[in-house]
Amino acid sequence: MKTESKGLVKQTANHFMEVTVKLHGVLRRHRPGEIEGAPHHPFTMELPSVSTVDDLGANLSLGHTISFVVAVNGEAAELATALHQGDVVYFFPPAAGG
């Protein structure tokens, strides 16, 4: 596969990127079955190069009926946050306390 370097981000000729995903708590059950490894281990997903957190959530079947908090590269993120090659995306279930 041929790659072109654009700044610090490499984009592939087929316009896909890879991001690392880490699911926490009850969200681990949304780990794709075809991806090897323990549910608590991070994994890599390939997405179109123009993707958002919402797109990734849809690929994980998280939908809009499941509550979660998300961070990208350690920073709080919104569903509309654009993803980039090499990003690390963390999904957390909501916390409750009392």
- Residue ranges making up the domain that contains 72: 14-92
Per-residue pLDDT tens digits of the chain, which is 98 residues long = 334 444 444 444 569 999 999 999 999 999 998 988 898 999 999 999 999 999 999 999 998 778 899 999 999 999 999 999 999 999 999 886 65
Assigned domain for 1 exists = no
Query: What CATH number does the domain containing 85 carry?
Result: 3.10.20.30
Assigned domain for 8 exists = no
Summarize pLDDT for 67-91 with one digit per residue, the tens: 899 999 999 999 999 999 999 999 9
Assigned domain for 43 exists = yes
Assigned domain for 7 exists = no
Assigned domain for 98 exists = no
Number of structural domains the chain divides into: 1
Half-sphere exposure of residue 92: CA atoms within 13 angstroms, side-chain side? 13
